[in-house]
Amino acid sequence: MIMLELKLSVHAEQCIALLKRMPKGHPVRPIVEKDLKIWLKGYYGELNTSYYVSFLPENEYYIFYGLRLKDKKDFQMDLLLISSRFALIIEVKNISGKLKFEKGSDLMIRELNNVDEGMDNPIQQVKRHHLQFTNWLKFHQIRGIPVESLVVISKTSTIIETTPDNQQIFQKIIYAESLLDKIKELEDKYQKPRMTKNTLTQLSDTLLKAHHIYIPDIFQKYELSQTDLITGVQCTNSNCKCYPMEYVSASWRCNKCKETSKTAHIQAVSDYFLLYSPTINRKQFADFLQVDSSIKARYLLLSLNLFSTGSKRGTKYFLPKNCIFSPHDENSMKKGGFFT
C-alpha cells in the first residue's frame, strides 16, 4: 500500500519556479537548469524503480517515497518499505556511465566519456540512513524490527565495477530489475513476523506524522536578490506564458494573447511559497501578484482556503503542511518547457 506517493522533489519544484521567473539571459539560469536536470534524472530513476515496487503485495508492504525524518539531523529516504517482518531502506541512483567502487572509500568514481568524476558513495549514504532510521525507531520505542538497506541503480546500462576484494558490495548495490528477487531473499531470511498488523499500522501512522518537507532558501543558495525575479501571474496559455495577467472583472486576463483564467493565481501563490516564504499576507499577495486592490487580494486569498492566523490586514496565510501547493504533473514536465 502506498502511504507516501512518489512526487517531484521540493528542489526540483523550486528550480522550475525559478526558471519561470528568471529573465532569459540571467547569469544564474544555466546553473539552475543544470540542477533541475539532475533532480529530474533522480525523479525518473525513482519512477523506474516504482514500476518494480508496484508488483509487491498491497496488503503486506507499506511504501513511503521521500520520507523525511529527524534524528539528530534530518534525513530523507528515497524509498522505505515496511512489512511485519522487516524494514528496507532504498537509495535510488540514476547515474549514466561506469561507477567504480574502492574498498572502504567514501568516494565513488563515475567514468563517463573517458572523464572520471568523484561522487558521494551511495553505499555509505544508505548506511548513514540505516543508522539514523534505527536511532529514530529506538527513540520512538519501536523494537524488534530488522532494518535492511540497499542501493538501487535504476538502469542496467550503468556499469558497476569494483576490485576482487570488494565483491561484497553486490549484496548492497543492485539493479532495479533485481529488486523483487532481493526482496524475496529478505522474505526468506525474515520468515517470522516481528509485529502485529496493528503495530505495523501504528508505525506507519507515526512515520507519516513525523514526515516533514524542507524548503531551502533559494535566494541564499543561488545568491539571488528579490529583484532578480519576475513578479505577477503568468499567462496560462502554454504558447504565450508572458507576465503579468491582470485581474479584471473576477478573472485573470492576458493583455497580449487575451487568454482568460479564473485560477491562474494558484500557480503564482505556489511559486511564492516555494521561493519566498511558507506564509503570505495580503500585502505580499498584492505586491507579488500585482493586484491593485487590497479587497481583491483578500477575496482571492480567502478563495484558496488556506489555514490562517491573525486578523484583518495582519492575517497570515499558511502553506498547507508538507505540501507543494500546486505541484507540477508528469505532462508539464515532459514538455520540458522550463529550459531555454
Between the alpha carbon of residue 275 and those of residues 17, 28, 39, 220, 292, the distances in Å are 7, 15, 17, 11, 22
Residue 243 touches Zn ion, criterion: CB under 5 A: no
- Please answer whether residues 274 and 327 qualify as being in contact, where contact means their C-beta atoms are separated by less than 8 angstroms: no
Contact segment (CB under 5 A) with Zn ion among 2-10, 62-70, 250-258, 289-297 equals 250-258
> Which of the residues 102 through 121 are near Zn ion (CB under 5 A)?
none
Between residues 20 and 85, which has the closer beta carbon with respect to Zn ion? 20
Between residues 48 and 260, which has the closer beta carbon with respect to Zn ion? 260
- Please answer whether residues 270 and 326 qualify as being in contact, where contact means their C-beta atoms are separated by less than 8 angstroms: yes
Residue 184 touches Zn ion, criterion: CB under 5 A: no
Residue 200 touches Zn ion, criterion: CB under 5 A: no
Q: How many CA atoms lie within 13 A of 181 on its CB side?
A: 8
C-alpha cell at 6: 512518489
Residue 237 touches Zn ion, criterion: CB under 5 A: yes
CB of 261 to Zn ion, least distance (A): 10
DSSP 227: G
Question: 3-class secondary structure for 67-120?
Answer: EEEECCCEEEEEEEEECCCCEEEEEEECCCCEEEECCCCCEEEEEECCEEEEEE
CB of 275 to Zn ion, least distance (A): 22
CB of 242 to Zn ion, least distance (A): 5
Among 256, 262, 283, 313, binds Zn ion (CB under 5 A): 256
Residue 240 touches Zn ion, criterion: CB under 5 A: yes
Among 12, 53, 123, 235, binds Zn ion (CB under 5 A): 235
The pairing of beta strand 251-253 with beta strand 260-261: antiparallel
Contact segment (CB under 5 A) with Zn ion among 75-83, 98-106, 237-245, 260-268 equals 237-245
Nearest to 270 by CA among 227, 320, 336: 320
Residue 257 touches Zn ion, criterion: CB under 5 A: yes
Burial 275-298 (b: 16+ CB within 10 A, else e): bbebbbbbebbbebbebeeeebbb
Residue 88 touches Zn ion, criterion: CB under 5 A: no
Q: Is the peptide bond before 244 cis (omega within 30 degrees of 0)?
A: yes
CB of 278 to Zn ion, least distance (A): 29
Contact segment (CB under 5 A) with Zn ion among 56-64, 68-76, 255-263, 322-330 equals 255-263
Contact segment (CB under 5 A) with Zn ion among 63-71, 229-237, 283-291, 332-340 equals 229-237
Among 13, 46, 91, 259, binds Zn ion (CB under 5 A): 259
Among 82, 254, 274, 286, binds Zn ion (CB under 5 A): 254
Contact segment (CB under 5 A) with Zn ion among 43-51, 234-242, 264-272, 294-302 equals 234-242
Contact segment (CB under 5 A) with Zn ion among 39-47, 74-82, 151-159, 252-260 equals 252-260
Crossing angle of the two packed helices 282-289 and 265-275, in degrees rounded to 10 = 110
Q: Phi and psi dihedrals of 24, rounded to 5?
A: -60, 140
Between residues 13 and 259, which has the closer beta carbon with respect to Zn ion? 259
Q: Give the DSSP H/E element, type plus range, for residue 173.
A: strand 173-175
State the amino acid at position 311 in one-letter form.
S
Residues near Zn ion (CB under 5 A) are: 235, 237, 240, 254, 256-257, 259
